[in-house]
Amino acid sequence: MKKWIRSLTLAVVAAVGTASVVSVSGPAVQGQVKEKAEAKGSVVITKDKGGKFRFQVRDGDNKVVMMCVKGYVTEKDAIAAFEEALAIAKVAKPMVEKDKGGK
């Protein structure tokens, strides 16, 4: 799982300002990220410099391990996007994209 998160993180890393940070909790989000009982972390919604909301998944050391590239108009939309990404991650198998560079 950690290799998959690292690969996904590399694919979605984008510059995000953190003008404000809102923690997300509740039954819709809490506990869904955990695959193992010892997994710790959080999902937060940040507001970027342009006023758009984005989600971040942070590990137990509060380091960002995944974030979305697209900004959303409302916090609710960002939470829905996280839930959709989580649903995809639960059923999709990680795959390595072949180098598209032409040498």
CATH code of the domain in which 60 resides: 3.30.160.160
- Is the pLDDT reported for residue 56 higher than 60? yes
Q: Do the beta carbons of residue 80 and residue 68 sit within 8 Å?
A: no
Residue 7 scores a pLDDT above 80:
no
Asked if the model's pLDDT at residue 6 lies above 70, the reply is no
Q: pTM of this prediction?
A: 0.57
Computed on alpha carbons and rounded to an integer, the radius of gyration of the chain in Å comes to 14
Angle at 64 between CA 58 and CA 67, to 5 degrees: 95
Residue 45 within any structural domain of the chain: yes
Residue-level pLDDT at 37: 55
Provide the residue range defining the domain that includes 66: 20-91
Lowest model confidence (mean pLDDT) among 13-22, 39-48, 51-60, 81-90: 13-22
Domain-embedded: residue 84:
yes
Structurally, the chain folds into a number of domains equal to: 1
What is the rounded CA–CA span in Å between residue 8 and residue 53?
19
Position 54 in a domain: yes
- 99 domain residue, yes or no: no
